[in-house]
Amino acid sequence: MGGVPELTPLDVLRTTFGYDGFRGEQEAIIDRVVGGGDALVLMPTGGGKSLCYQIPAMVRPGVGVVVSPLIALMHDQVTALENLGVRAGFLNSSQSPDEQRTVERQALAGEIDLLYLAPERLDLARTQEFLDRVSVSVFAIDEAHCVSQWGHDFRPEYLKLSVLGRRWPAVPRIALTATATPATRREIVERLGLPDARTFVASFDRPNIGYRIEPKQQPLRQLVSLIRAEHDGDAGIVYCLSRTSVEATAASLVKEGIDALPYHAGLPASVRSANQSRFLRADGVVMVATIAFGMGIDKPDVRFVAHLDLPRSIEGYYQETGRAGRDGLPATAWMAYGLADVVQQRQMITGSEGSAAHKRLLGQHLDAMLGLCETLRCRRQLMLDYFGEASQACGNCDTCVDPPTPWDGTVAAQKLLSTMVRLKRERNQQFGAGQLIDILLGRRTARVEQWRHHELSTFGIGTELIESQWRAVVRQLLAAGLLAVSSDGHHTLEITAESWPVLRGERRVPLREDAVVRAGAGRKRAASAVKGSAAAGDLSTDDRALFERLRAWRSETARDASVPAYVVFPDATLAAIARQRPATLDALFTISGVGAKKLESYGDAVLTVVRGGEARADAAPRS
């Protein structure tokens, strides 16, 4: 490294990224790769995977090549690095041949330390010959689970990546993913040809995310009150199952004065990319989306992820909610879940075309997800358990904070089930939850009269519960498999083999009492919690005012430079500045997230805002 002073990884972490120390296994991983060894890194979203390859690429001589499937995000990733003073570039199909040639020239001349590449390029002879001439310091394979054929993100191009080890055996490789299952891990090692990789598994816990699952009553109103009470002005993602509900929900939020945008695969590509870009760049946009949205979105300040429909598996749910709070600040994962969700998903599985084995697998995933919804235990503990990680009750989920009351639902279950048995035996009829509940409550509706259900001996035997409680009973029996959705396509319910021991009194049915979502419950929370962004959670009133001024300065600066706001400074850094109120550049430099380049670019402006002055994003005021 003729003449160039040698930088240690810690130097780079401190000077370039402005952080004090490594997190978890980052240091060991970086040492392994800097030393020329291969590594497989399993870390949850927000765990800090990027530094694990960025720092080796900067410390080792040559160019680090990052293979990433997320072409749409490469530009932002490179801009963020440039803002830190890191020399980086990317090559993908969005560029003109001229732009590509420029980047190639820079790589050959050693003028960049990091080069992002789309995986399909590596299959081209042209790219391979180009890489033969570049001195490659490390190959990083991001989102490495895309190589798994059974996973949810399979990309055939990833199978070709085994060429890296064969063609450039001397270059260390690091594969990274946030997918935890042992099967995926084995597949990555085998298919990428990484037998000598040392595996680093981080804890999958995300303690800063508070998990909450509420009974679904008026989902939109529940969502709006969550946003108003706890996430006013925050960026968030709202997941819906269908395109129609994405559009309807986004429109309703906008009507409520919330800055929301829709995203689903049915929108034109240009609208999708414009909406994604606004979500990434502007502060406080709420994206309403199908699960087509989100992979690789590395926006660190997403403060909440809301689910208005039941996810199909715990894996999917954990990945989606993991997009909240990557910056480590408090964030919320919230879901509204109800009887209709269970009926719909069970119906979808029964009616699907797949093989019996496939349906069984879908059924198992759904059962685990329902188990999470109906649990009396700590939700986080249950999820980590599912991923094979032991943990304690967390204190930051709804079942920890406000433990649900268990009650003995045996008699209620017997009343419901025996009504169903009677209808079937005496009249060969099957009905859905609505009619069954009307019968139990003794309501003489038009449909009850039409079917003469008031003549049943179980008519009106369930008045000790109200309708929402009966719906909760049906939902929990369905979740537990003590009831089933029939395959007639009409969402009617039927008895299962498991129902009989309950009817015979041989099996008890413990249920959880739903937290009651009263009108005004949201308002009550709003009054007790300080309104506003959760990122500023522990700031005093004065500090919070400064934080908001810093955010305003950041918005303007980001807009003028057309970069995402978090590329200027993440929320955590602004909160630390608001708390510590540095008076000098030296003091500012000690704050986590302030590196040398950012000190130079923004230091004076930040100090002016801290002093209470008006800092322009731009020396010449615009009109």
List the single partner that 360 binds among ligand ADP, Zn ion, none, CB under 5 to 8 Å by kind.
none
- Residue 316 CB contacts under 8 Å (≥ 6 apart), including other chains: 152, 291
What single string gives the DSSP state of each residue in 438-466? HHHHT---HHHHHTTGGGSTTTTTTTTS-
Q: Are 473 and 416 in contact (CB under 8 A)?
A: yes
Pairing state between β 235-239 and 286-289 = parallel
From Zn ion, ligand ADP, none, which one binds at residue 400 (CB under 5 to 8 Å depending on kind)? Zn ion
Q: Figure out which of the listed residues 176, 314, 324, 397 binds Zn ion, where binding follows CB under 5 A.
A: 397
Q: Could you tell me if 592 and 576 are in contact, meaning their C-beta atoms sit under 8 angstroms apart?
A: yes
Please tell me whether residue 215 binds ligand ADP under the rule CB under 6 A: no
- Which of Zn ion, ligand ADP, none lies near 180, with the C-beta cut-off 5 to 8 A by kind? none
User: Rg for the chain (alpha carbons), in Å?
Assistant: 27
Q: At residue 488, what is the residue type?
A: D
Q: Give me the DSSP letters along 93-125.
A: TTS-HHHHHHHHHHHHTT--SEEEE-GGGGGSH
Q: How far is the CB of 171 from ligand ADP (least distance, A)?
A: 22
Name which of ligand ADP, Zn ion, none residue 62 binds, using a CB cut-off of 5 to 8 Å depending on partner kind.
none
The residue (of 194 and 594) whose beta carbon lies closer to ligand ADP is 594
> For ligand ADP, which stretch binds (CB under 6 A), given 41-49, 342-350, 450-458, 539-547?
41-49
Cβ-based nearer residue to ligand ADP, 44 or 210: 44
Alpha helices (H) in 492-595, listed in sequence order: 499-503, 521-528, 541-561, 565-568, 571-580, 585-589
Q: How far is CA 403 from CA 393, 515, 519, 595, in A?
A: 11, 9, 21, 44
Q: Between residues 147 and 366, which has the closer beta carbon with respect to ligand ADP?
A: 147
Task: Give the shortest CB-294-to-ligand ADP separation in angstroms.
Answer: 12
49 binds, among Zn ion, ligand ADP, none (CB under 5 to 8 A by kind): ligand ADP
Classify residue 596 as exposed, middle or buried by CB count within 10 Å of its CB (0-12, 13-18, 19+). Answer: middle
Per-residue DSSP letter, 47 = S
Q: Which is nearer to ligand ADP, 52 or 474 (CB)?
A: 52
d(CA 317, CA 149): 20
Question: What's the min distance (Å) between Cβ of 19 and ligand ADP?
Answer: 4
State yes or no: residue 47 binds ligand ADP (CB under 6 A). Answer: yes
Residue 193 is classified by DSSP as T
**CA atoms of 122 and 128, how far apart (whole Å):** 6
| Distance, CA of 125 to chain centre | 37
- Restricting to residues 538-577, name those near ligand ADP by CB under 6 A: 570
378 is an interface residue for Zn ion by CB under 5 A: yes
Picked from ligand ADP, Zn ion, none, the partner binding residue 45 (CB below 5 to 8 A depending on kind) is: ligand ADP
Q: For 39, phi and psi rounded to 5 degrees? A: -145, 145
Provide the token pair at 597: 């380049």
Q: What are phi and psi of 430, to 5 degrees?
A: -130, 140
Q: Which of 145, 303, 323, 380 binds Zn ion (CB under 5 A)?
A: 380
Selected from 30, 33, 39, 51, the binder of ligand ADP by CB under 6 A is 51
**Residues pairing with 333 in the sheet:** 211, 305
104 touches ligand ADP (CB under 6 A): no
**Distance (Å) of CA 12 to CA 23, 57, 135, 578:** 14, 11, 21, 25
381-410: contacts with ligand ADP (CB under 6 A): none
Coil, strand, or helix at residue 482? coil
Beta pairing partners, 117: 67, 91
Q: Give the burial class of 25: count Cβ atoms within 10 A of its Cβ; 0-12 exposed, 13-18 middle, 19 or more buried.
A: buried
Query: Cβ closer to ligand ADP: 317 or 459?
Result: 317
Kindly state the number of chain residues that form the binding site for ligand ADP, as judged by CB under 6 A.
17
Enumerate the β-bridge partners of residue 200: 41
Beta partners for 201?
42
Q: Return the structure tokens found at 399.
A: 């079942």
Q: Is residue 222 close enough to count as binding ligand ADP by CB under 6 A?
A: no
String marking each residue 336-355 x if it binds ligand ADP according to CB under 6 A: --------------------
Is 45 a residue that touches ligand ADP (CB under 6 A)? Answer: yes
Residue 327 contacts ligand ADP per CB under 6 A: yes
Closer Cβ to ligand ADP, 322 or 603, answer by number: 322
Return the range that interacts with Zn ion (CB under 5 A); candidates 13-21, 373-381, 438-446, 495-503: 373-381
CA distance 470 to 476: 10
Site string for ligand ADP, 285-324 (x = CB under 6 A): -------------x-x------------------------
The reply on whether position 50 binds ligand ADP by CB under 6 A is yes
- CA dist 534 to 123, 141, 239, 405, 519, Å? 45, 34, 20, 29, 23
Smaller CB separation from ligand ADP, 176 or 339: 176
* Contact residues for 455 (Cβ-Cβ < 8 A; gap 6+): none
Asked if 56 touches ligand ADP (CB under 6 A), the answer is no
Q: Which residues pair with 40 in a beta bridge?
A: 175, 199
- Minimum distance from residue 212 beta carbon to Zn ion (Å): 10
- Nearer CB in complex with ligand ADP: 20/408: 20
Token pair, residue 45, equals 């979203």
Partner whose binding site includes residue 326, from ligand ADP, Zn ion, none (CB under 5 to 8 Å by kind): ligand ADP
> What is the spatial distance between Cα 107 and Cα 63, in angstroms, rounded to a whole number?
7
Q: Is 69 in the site for ligand ADP (CB under 6 A)?
A: no
| Beta carbon nearer to ligand ADP, 480 or 567 | 567
Candidates 400, 416, 473, 550; binder of Zn ion (CB under 5 A) is 400
Which of ligand ADP, Zn ion, none does 378 bind, CB closer than 5 to 8 A by kind? Zn ion
Q: Which does 380 bind (CB under 5 to 8 A by kind): Zn ion, ligand ADP, none?
A: Zn ion
User: Smallest distance, Å, CB 85 to ligand ADP?
Assistant: 14
Site residues (vs ligand ADP, CB under 6 A): 19, 22-23, 26, 43, 45-51, 298, 300, 326-327, 570
Site residues (vs Zn ion, CB under 5 A): 378, 380, 394, 397, 400
